[in-house]
Structures are given as C-alpha cells and as structure tokens.
Amino acid sequence: MDKVQRVVIAGGGTAGWIAAASLSRLLGKSLSVTLVESDDIGTVGVGEATIPPIRTLHKLLGINEKEFLQQTNATFKLGIQFEDWGQIGDSYIHSFGITGKECWAGEFHHFWLRGQREGMTAGFGEYCVEHEAALAGRFSLSPQQPLNFAYHLDAGKYALFLRGIAEKAGVKRLEGKINHVGTCPQTGHITHLILQSGERIDGDFFVDCTGFKGLLIEQALHTGYDDWSHYLPCDSALAVQTDVHKDPQPYTRSIAHDAGWRWQIPLQHRMGNGLVYCQRYLDDQQAEQRLLDAVDGQPITSPRLIRFKPGKRRKGWHKNCVALGLASGFIEPLESTSIHLIMTGVVRLMRLFPFEGVTQAAIDEYNNKLDSEMACILDFITLHYCATERDDSPFWRHCQSMEIPDSLRHKIQLFKDTGRVFLDDGDIFRVDSWTQVMLGQRIKPRQYHRIANEMSDTEFEGFMSGLRQQVKHKVESLAKHGEFLNQLRG
C-alpha cells in the first residue's frame, strides 16, 4: 500500500507516448513520469487507422487538430469499405455515422427491412450521411454539418507528436535497452529497471509498452496469455508503403483474398498497404508477391513481415504493472481497434489510479472491464470471418465451420430470428456497426419489429424518402476530401 508517485513507462511507440502524454497532462501534478525506450528497438508502427473515440482523448489532451493533421500527415476516415467478404464481388461500408432514425421499440433497420419487403430498393447505407460521404469522397468539419469520423495517421509521426506533448508536460525520457526487471522478493511487485548501461530506474508503478514480448507483464510477472487463434486464423502481416498520385479517399479499404485480407490506408503523403494472412494457407513469399502485385503506386519501402498471435494477457493489470498496446494483447487490425484499446486502457488506469497504493479491488475492476471490452471486440472481428458464403479456398471453408464464441453465436442467431441487436456493457461498437456488418455479410433477419408497421403506407413512404433526401443534400454540401485537406494544410 505504498503511495504511488513515480511512474515508469517501459517502451515508447504509440502506446508508450499515449500513456506518457495522458498521465503527464492530466495527472502530472501528482506524479513524476519517466519513459524508457531505445532507438535501436523498432516499433510495429503500422496501426495507422483509428476509430472515432480517439477524438475524445485528443480533446482531453488539448490537442490542436490542425497541428495534429499537419504533423502526422493524417487524413479523415468515415468508415471501412469491405470488399469480397460475404462473396467475391460484394462490397459494403461499415461507416461511423447514425443510419436513419430510430424509435423507442426498434432501430432504423427495422423500418428499412419493412421497405425491403415492400419493394424499396435503396441500400441501408443510403440513409447515413457518413456512408454516402465516404462513397462520394466528401468531408467537412462544419459545425452545421457535423460528421462522426476518425483518422488515418502516420503511426511513427504520431508517436513523435505525442512525445512533444509529454516532454513539455514534464515527462523524462531515458534512452537505453532494458536489461533486467527487478522485483520485490516478498510481494513480487516490480521495484526497478536496469538498463544495459547499468543505470537503475526506480519506480512505484510501471506501464509495460514493450510490444509482443511483454518484458514486464509476462517475462517478469508471468501473467499468461489466452490464445484466440482458434477464432481468428490469421497470424501474419506484411506491410509496405507506396507513393500516391491521387487524392486520398476518406475511408479504409479491406479487401478479402483467398487466405485473409489486405488493407489500403491513405495518408496525405503516401499509401499504407498490408496483407494479412494465415501461414497454413499462404507462405511468406507468395504473400509478399501478392501484396506487391496488388498495390497502387510505386513502393517506397520494402515489405515488412509481422508475426502475431491473436489473444490477450490473462491480466492486463497485475501487481503494480499495467500492460498497454501489444504488450496487453492483440486481436487483429481488421476494425482498427489497436490504438483505441491503448486509449481506453490509459483512461481506465487514470480513473482507477492507485495514488495511495495498489489495491486488489482496483486491479479486479480494471481487468474485468478490459476482459469485457476485449471479448466484445473478439466477437465483432470474428463475425467478419465466420459470416461468409465464400467456399472458394480452404481458408474460407475453414472460417465457415470454425468454432466461434457462444456470445457471438447468440448475437447472430438473435439477429436472424428477430432482427434485434443488444449490446454488451463492454461493446465499443454501436448497433449500427453490428447491423451494417451483418447485413453486409449476408445475414438477413427473418422478421422485423412491427413498430415499423404503425405508419400508414403514405406516411412510411414519405418518412423513408425524406430521410434519403436529407442525406443527399447534406452530402452535396460537403467539400471534396482532398480539397478540404489542402485547405487545412494551407
């Protein structure tokens, strides 16, 4: 129950500097924060797509959006376009906006399902401004036409940007490789780090941002790891950057192939590309050639191989150590949740921060919330793989028949039977997100809530056409995404 005043962050990168910037800017009067990292140790640095809650943390940190966009070469993101997932030739967008209007008894998709039964042909996304703006390549920050958006960003430059914020707030950065993690023989708590240089860094609380190896949380504290490979078959990724010769679109592309999927993430100055795959169905050499054959533009880096094991640490907080980023686990990059999990972990830690000493109650609360959050994300990501009609390759035939979590099986069956989506407490994705993906992956409800039938035919037709017209007018008033970025840069 020793008071916590000295926080030591092991590792830099996105996770380390998000933690350092947050703790120093928001709790800096009560804490001294030291970050240890080595220039000789690279970071994964390919988590370049985000989801909308990143903007909340930016507001807490007082980040100037224009400065952030300029220093990280960021673009705006209204959603993710999924291609060839349900069947080859399919395409849908998981957008970040609100679709249509809901009522007390049922969300908007129940009204849309009534329209489908009555012969209306408009797609579900045509009732969402963000969906239609993404397809049209339009964007604006106008208060009169607010959009729900996230960013594509250069992860390396983002870490440097956050480092500047953290160091201005008093964070001390130490250069060097960690050679030893010292623990107390009686309690097992971490007491200090020793660098290769022999320098000793003492602390009261430690944040592990050392990536997949989990130097503190796993190698020193032995928390264990839950392997989720039986739900998520992909275990490898290749990343390469290419030049660009056209305006960036305001969405991420996720294109399925016969052994996984590949991404395209547009930044202001380049395109981020990657191929995610399962080694059992595609070897590294074939994967690299497939990626290079598929990219737009000329490569400006060599393809970089990343191995990963989907899953999570059994304890995100153990004794006096919290793991963030890849040190705490990794699901996979399909829905851009990696940076989000860093941010929610930091915020959760700050809300439970053990100023007067570490308590088991705080540890349990942190880990329970983390487990719930990770389980919901696991369900959502697994949905993309298991809800497919593709049978053109051994990989997709495996996905059709593989084991899935019981919670996901219930959600899918509930949607099929009733058209309903009920969210768990830890779910970061809204009903609209679940609905867009399930409909996009060809899961169709057998019924809809009869609240949608309370309107007369004339009222219903006016209601639906009015919503579409509102969306159309809003999208037409937005600027072209590329032109808007140019104005911001100017």
Adjacent-strand bridge partners of 206 = 8, 321
Q: Measured between alpha carbons, how far is 73 from 89 in angstroms, rounded to an integer?
A: 32
* Residues contacting residue 69 through CB under 8 Å, at least 6 positions apart: 151, 485, 488, 489
DSSP secondary structure, 356-419, as one string? T---HHHHHHHHHHHHHHHHHHHHHHHHHHHS----SSHHHHHHHHS---HHHHHHHHHHHHHS
* Residues contacting residue 322 through CB under 8 Å, at least 6 positions apart: 205, 206, 207, 208, 217, 316, 345, 349, 366
Question: Are 54 and 339 spatial neighbours (Cβ–Cβ below 8 Å)?
Answer: yes
- Classify the C-alpha dihedral 56-58-63-67 as positive or negative: negative
Rg, C-alpha atoms of the chain:
23
Say whether 411 is catalytic. Answer: no
Q: Measured between alpha carbons, how far is 148 from 54 in angstroms, rounded to an integer?
A: 11
Question: Are 7 and 33 spatial neighbours (Cβ–Cβ below 8 Å)?
Answer: yes
Nearest to 487 by CA among 160, 166, 140, 147: 140
CA dihedral 69, 75, 76, 79 (to 10 degrees): -140
In Å, how far are 38, 167, 360 from 224, measured between CA atoms?
Answer: 26, 33, 18
From 77, 315, 411, 474, active-site residue: 77
Number of alpha carbons in the 13 Å side-chain half-sphere of residue 43: 27
Q: Measured between alpha carbons, how far is 23 from 215 in angstroms, rounded to an integer?
A: 21
Phi then psi for 482, rounded to 5 degrees? -65, -40
Question: What strands, in cross-sheet order, belong to the sheet with 6-10?
Answer: 172-175, 32-37, 6-10, 205-208, 321-323, 317-318
Catalytically active residues are 77
